[in-house]
């Protein structure tokens, strides 16, 4: 699927500050490394502490020559918020997979009345066969809204070749000990959400 000569898989994670985008990217990268793959990772923070855009590119494969994600080159676009999904659609490869947290967060310009939210969001995402994940609901059911990033990671994991044990091992190593069970529960809710959607289609 990749447009790069190295044949690596390109994953673009996009959200806003405070959603745990970078932690999810780190877990993806470490899971790939633990499975013997090379990984290159790059991050862009746009005033993340104030709810600005946060994007992280993770490229993984037998050999990875670049950390750049050009337009039309993301094999997977994992979006933590619907407006960020629209913003990053140009990066999705023609046959790429779009996974979106079904939630919209109003940015500061909208809250101050200087801008408006985009229209027809679901319709526009549907044009790209977006798979919507109610990550916030699953996270709350697991025990905390803070786990929504791990729910989304589970949705991505359902599309990738790594064993569930590999993902769980990295979660155990990364999250605070008292939240391990909650995060692993959230992760599997994300996996199941994608599996349930596939069974309905």
What tens digit of pLDDT does each residue of 94-120 get?
999 999 999 888 777 777 888 778 888
For 47, 63, 121, 164, 171, the CA distances from 153, given in Å and listed in that order, are 23, 23, 22, 12, 10
Per-position DSSP letters for 155-190, written without gaps between them: HHHTTSSS-HHHHHHHHHHHS-GGGHHHHHHHHHHH
Q: Is the pLDDT of residue 198 over 70?
A: no
Q: How much is the average pLDDT of 107-135?
A: 86
Is 4 part of any domain?
A: no
Mean pLDDT in the chain? 89
Domain span at residue 169? 9-105+121-194
**pLDDT, greater one: 18 or 145:** 145
Is 201 part of any domain?
A: no
Q: Which of the four pLDDT bands, split at 50, 70 and 90, describes residue 82?
A: very high
Is 111 part of any domain?
A: no
CA contacts within 13 A on the Cβ side of 68: 8
Angle between helices 164-174 and 180-200 (to 10 degrees): 150
What is the CATH classification number for the domain harbouring 142? 3.40.920.10
The domain tally of the chain equals: 1
Is 79 part of any domain?
A: yes
Contact 54/42 with Cβ under 8 angstroms?
no
Lowest mean pLDDT among 18-27, 43-52, 77-86, 190-199: 43-52
Q: Is the pLDDT of residue 4 over 70?
A: no
Contact 21/13 with Cβ under 8 angstroms?
yes
Report the DSSP beta bridge partners of residue 92: 74
Is 189 part of any domain?
A: yes
Q: How much is the average pLDDT of 7-28?
A: 92
Is 164 part of any domain?
A: yes
Lowest mean pLDDT among 26-30, 88-92, 192-196: 192-196
pTM confidence score: 0.89
Is 115 part of any domain?
A: no
pLDDT of residue 121: 84
pLDDT of residue 66: 85
Is 81 part of any domain?
A: yes
User: CB under 8 Å, gap of 24 or more: what pairs does 124-131 form?
Assistant: 124/86, 124/89, 125/82, 125/85, 125/86, 125/98, 125/100, 128/89, 128/92, 128/98, 129/98, 130/85, 130/98, 130/99, 130/100, 131/97, 131/98, 131/99, 131/100, 131/155, 131/194, 131/197
Q: How much is the average pLDDT of 67-80?
A: 93
What tens digit of pLDDT does each residue of 26-66 get?
999 999 999 999 999 987 766 555 567 889 999 999 999 88
């Amino acid at each position: 699927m990749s447009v790069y000569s190295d044949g690596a898989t390109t994953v673009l994670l996009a959200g806003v500050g405070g959603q745990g985008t970078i932690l999810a990217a780190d877990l993806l990268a470490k899971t790939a490394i633990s499975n013997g793959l090379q990984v290159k990772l790059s991050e862009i923070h746009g005033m993340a502490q104030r709810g600005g855009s946060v994007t992280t590119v993770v490229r993984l494969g037998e050999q990875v020559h670049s950390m750049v994600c050009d337009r039309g080159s993301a094999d997977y676009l994992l979006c933590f918020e619907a407006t960020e999904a629209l913003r990053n659609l140009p990066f999705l490869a023609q046959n790429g997979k779009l996974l979106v947290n079904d939630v919209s967060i109003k940015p500061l310009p909208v809250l101050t009345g200087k801008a408006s939210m985009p229209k027809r969001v679901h319709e526009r995402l549907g044009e790209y066969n977006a798979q919507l994940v109610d990550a916030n609901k699953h996270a709350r059911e697991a025990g905390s809204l803070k786990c929504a990033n791990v729910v989304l990671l589970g949705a991505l994991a359902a599309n990738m070749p790594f064993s569930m044990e590999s993902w769980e091992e990295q979660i155990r190593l990364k999250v605070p000990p008292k939240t391990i069970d909650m995060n692993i529960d959230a992760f599997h809710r994300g996996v199941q959400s994608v599996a349930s959607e596939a069974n309905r289609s």
